[in-house]
Amino acid sequence: MWEKKNSFDFHLHTLWSYDATADVEFYFAEASRLGVNCIAITEHHHMDSLPEALIAAEKYPDITYIRGAELTVSTPFGSIDMVCLGMPEVPTPELQQVFAAYHNWQREYGDSTCLNMTALGYPYSREEREMLLKRYRPAKTLNVQGITHVQAGVQCDYLIKEKKLFPDREAIRNLPRSEKVTPKPYPAYDFVLPAVRKAGALTFIAHPTRYFQRNNLERMDALREILQFDGIECAHTSVPEELTPFYREYALKHKLLSSAGSDCHSAPGDKYQFSSGCQLGGHIGDPRWVDEIMERLQK
């Protein structure tokens, strides 16, 4: 169980994300117990947990639940995670296309990983991926999402310790790309983000320290220009505390919103612990940011 850290958390993953294990209702129960009165569930690349979240939200009327998603987009600056808040309960036709593209991407990216390793002489099959996914994911998620990519730690442990294909993670990270395999880029920013905006949701650049090269203003301006985000995730487990006020000031200067989240992936006691050390509401964001976001969402 967790201790109280902050009164809101706008970045949470449940077992419906390929790299997470926490139960949907667990977050609501913990939020209620701790007085974390506003939470957003932001799965990687889809909203497949929405039906369960809506049921949990009804059971915990003391918790304000924000529909969200974390969508990773391809950009000329590399791939970037975007936390989207205030997503519609029923996806618009454009969002349906976006989610279909991400569901395909997750399976195709998983396949391309296997094909690449196999082409390089390290046999790794889709069936093995399925076996690994079943170790830490419930069947209901695989029924909806198919054989996606596998959480990096689970996959590395298997390839290193069980298959003994590689000596360490470094060797896997440094694998070249075989010419026989086409890389699968994430869906493009100019396909995904307009659909999110048109659906009335707000886009935030997630945990931006690496994307912003810490505090490189030129880079921040360039990303703001191209992505047209509504806000910045100014506080997050991975954002150094001294940068939070800097990002907040930048956001205010450019009339952008500020968000914050813990990015929890697992609950205490889950058999698999991904991004361990995480805490619900574990960030230094200002609760007043919630009012600013809610005001914009109600417009």
- Give the span between the Cα atoms of 111 and 155, in whole angstroms: 13
Q: Give whichever of 9 and 52 is closer to Zn ion, judged by the CB atom.
A: 9
- Phi and psi, residue 258, nearest 5°: -125, 140
Shortest approach of Zn ion to residue 3 CB, angstroms?
21
Q: Give whichever of 230 and 263 is closer to Zn ion, judged by the CB atom.
A: 263
Chain position whose Cβ is nearest to Zn ion? 263
Q: Are 237 and 283 in contact (CB under 8 A)?
A: yes
Binding segment toward Zn ion, per CB under 5 A, in 62-70, 121-129, 142-150, 279-287: 62-70
Q: Count CB atoms within 10 A of the CB of residue 238.
A: 12
Per CB under 5 A, 70 contacts Zn ion: yes
Shortest approach of Zn ion to residue 11 CB, angstroms?
6
Shortest approach of Zn ion to residue 38 CB, angstroms?
17
Binding segment toward Zn ion, per CB under 5 A, in 63-71, 181-189, 215-223, 236-244: 63-71
Q: Three-class SS of residue 197?
A: helix
Distance (Å) of CA 19 to CA 73, 142, 164, 197, 216: 18, 13, 23, 26, 30
Q: Give whichever of 40 and 220 is closer to Zn ion, judged by the CB atom.
A: 40
Q: Give whichever of 30 and 263 is closer to Zn ion, judged by the CB atom.
A: 263
Shortest approach of Zn ion to residue 81 CB, angstroms?
6
Shortest approach of Zn ion to residue 35 CB, angstroms?
23
Q: Are 31 and 264 in contact (CB under 8 A)?
A: no
Binding segment toward Zn ion, per CB under 5 A, in 97-105, 152-160, 239-247, 256-264: 256-264
Q: Three-class SS of residue 182?
A: coil
Distance (Å) of CA 10 to CA 79, 152, 196, 266: 21, 24, 17, 15
- Say which residues have a Cβ less than 8 Å from residue 32's Cβ, sequence separation at least 6: 60, 62, 63
Shortest approach of Zn ion to residue 195 CB, angstroms?
20
Per CB under 5 A, 43 contacts Zn ion: no
Nearest 10 degrees: Cα torsion 239, 242, 248, 249: -150
Distance (Å) of CA 137 to CA 20, 198, 214, 224, 235: 8, 33, 34, 36, 29
Shortest approach of Zn ion to residue 99 CB, angstroms?
17
Using CB atoms within 10 Å of the CB of residue 12, give its burial: 0 to 12 exposed, 13 to 18 middle, 19+ buried: buried
Q: Give whichever of 30 and 70 is closer to Zn ion, judged by the CB atom.
A: 70
Q: Give whichever of 34 and 278 is closer to Zn ion, judged by the CB atom.
A: 278
Shortest approach of Zn ion to residue 71 CB, angstroms?
10
Pick from 48, 52, 111, 263 the residue near Zn ion by CB under 5 A: 263
Q: Give whichever of 70 and 111 is closer to Zn ion, judged by the CB atom.
A: 70
Q: Are 260 and 241 in contact (CB under 8 A)?
A: no
Binding segment toward Zn ion, per CB under 5 A, in 166-174, 185-193, 250-258, 263-271: 263-271
| Residues at the contact surface with Zn ion, assessed by CB under 5 A | 70, 263
